[in-house]
A and B are shown apart, each in its own frame.
Chain A
Amino acid sequence: MTDIPSGTSPQAERPAPGAPPPVEVRGLVKRYGELEAVAGVDLTVHAGDVYGYLGPNGAGKTTCLRMMLGLIRPTAGTVRLFGRDPLQTVQALDGVAGFVEAPTFYPYLTGRRNLELLAGFDGGDAGDRITQALETVELTDRARDKVGGYSHGMRQRIGIAAALLRDPKLLLLDEPATGLDPAGMRDMRLLIRRLADQGMTVLLSSHLLAEVEELCNRVAIVRTGRIVYEGAIADLKRGAGATYRLSSTDDARALAVCRAQPGIADVHVVHGRISFAADEPAVAVLSQALVEAGALIHSLAPETVTLEDLFFSLTEGDGVVNGGVPAGETAAAAAEAS
């Protein structure tokens, strides 16, 4: 994963001290009758973040994004974009752009005409950016075709172009790479990275964990409407602890040694190899004990913990990551930091 450190780009716009964060969500709840789609979400996106919003289908991600954009009224809780409430006035969306679910346009109008319409609805000098936005997403050649004839990928791209017309400080993207072919996904990642490098804050909802791991510096992981982790990916991984894989000349004896050795935890066999959690000093002692017990080591290597492992642990397992920080605490810490 390549982190995109917050605010390190030379072009990044430094927020004024004490300026409200681009996104601040507190106690957000949305109920549809008995169904609680969003159940008390707290999250903070800081200026310069590329923030991943992760969760399985039906976890309430899109509902949450809709509330952030003022499309849905929350049952309880608050949303602030740069300190302004999108439910009170559409001016809260100044400097904010993006789309929820697939971007949608008028199918009977051309791509350019759609952008002209949206630029008109944006006001200011948005109209001056149409040509540049089309070039950025490489749709100049198809700009005079009706959007009704566009492929899914082209609609995603023109969705990005429509967002860029607003010259945003904050980009909210819901599954931007969904439905794209591998090359399209790669180019979408490149575009998001470049925009982030220019100082744009990005909140990215995605199912594609590798994409999030590559792009994002911070994540929120949501499960059945609740955030189960919020914070830096690096902290999440660190909290997960180190795991190792071992194979030896006598795995049965090695397994017994591992289970008896102090500092070695969570010992089990995965695909014929021994897996355990430990820190480096304990592993050094273990390797000596194995040799003394006559179980000679074929391989002993740390196992890379991926965001995917952690995601499934948080959303399908018991929701506990070793050493992880509960979502509520990180939200509180973030609030203090902001």
Chain B
Amino acid sequence: MSSGVGTADTPRFGPGAGVAGRSRSRPGIATVYRWELLKLRYQKRTYLGLGAAAIVPILFVLAIHFRHHRDNGGDFAFASYLTKSGLVVPLVLLLFGAVWMFPLITALVAGDIFASEDHNGTLKTVLTRSLERWQIFAGKGLATATYAVTAIFISGTVGVIAGSIQSGFNSVQTLSGSIVSAPKGLELVYLSLLVYLIPIGTIVCIGLLLSTITRNSAAAVVGTLMISLLFQLIGILPGLGALQPYLLSTQFNAWQGLLRQPIDWAPIVRAAWVCAMYAVPALATAFLVFLRRDVAGG
């Protein structure tokens, strides 16, 4: 019995027949993006992140349900709002999820997307095909962003559905005290999710940077989360109030401007440029490191 190599009938792999004198369609960013999404579909961490994004709202609603029945809805913070309209559930999750849940869910993939190539030793495999390094970087970055957007919208949508089952699809009271209809409230929820993507995008960029530099998935994931928590910590330190508007952690609350009448765009605009201040250098550094690095291991 053959051991397996080269005993098939003569293959006709001509010497470079496909290269010289023949135009060939070259792959691009879209190819990398498509395959990165497929690779994410086969990785446990993707399901861990998206699963957490889906399960946490359900657990949250169950907690509201049982506490509401036990305590008659009296002393639980936000309980009075949460039991009036299910649309409040995703908004409360955005509020509390900013501390570590959403940064962690985002970092799970952002911190891994380059580091896993080093871990598997596959970087040399993909870099010796027909794609420039910048195309691979762009494709991976887009796939990570897609994952983050998906996680946020899954969490929001599950929160709306679970909350509506628990508390009903009812009108919502804004932060200015006015009441908006349920459809308008739903629109505000999804707009809030969109605004929430601004700081999440920064977390993506920081994750990509650490993934590229550390070449270690665990270090990059934990490092990204630690940076996020560090911003939270700085935000509560006494005497540093002047820094508050420029902290990444503050930008996770920018969506609340949408819940005022009229809409307060100032925190949203500030979130955009403050986040860019963190995200652009992180992304640019990651890009340059990836472009110029020696692939001596993986």
* Residues in chain A within 8 A of chain B (CB atoms): 11-13, 63, 66, 69-73, 89-91, 93-109, 117-118, 120-126, 129, 132-133, 135-139, 153-154, 156-157, 160, 162, 164, 166-170, 180-181, 183-184, 186-188, 190-192, 194-195, 198-201
Contact = CB atoms under 8 A, between A and B. Distances in A.
B16 A167 contact: yes
A125 B131 CA distance: 15
Interface residues of B, number: 48
B132 A89 contact: yes
Contacts of B19: 94-95, 167, 169
Nearest to B131: A121
Given A103-B125, A106-B120, A124-B24, A190 B5 contact: yes
A117 B125 CA distance: 11
Interface of B: 2-8, 10-20, 24-27, 31-32, 34-35, 38-39, 42-43, 120-122, 124-133, 292, 294-296, 298
B6 A194 contact: yes
B296 A72 contact: yes
Contacts, number: 192
Contacts of A192: 6
A22 B32 CA distance: 28
B132 A90 contact: yes
Given A69-B128, A184-B5, A121 B27 contact: yes
B35 A137 contact: no
Contacts of B295: 66, 71-72
B2 A138 contact: yes
B4 A162 contact: no
Among B10, B18, B32, B294, chain A packs the most CB atoms within 10 A around the CB of: B18
Nearest to B133: A90
Contact of A167 (B10, B13, B31, B128): B13
Nearest to B43: A108
A17 to B, nearest CB: 15
Contacts of B35: 117, 120-121
Contacts of A91: 130
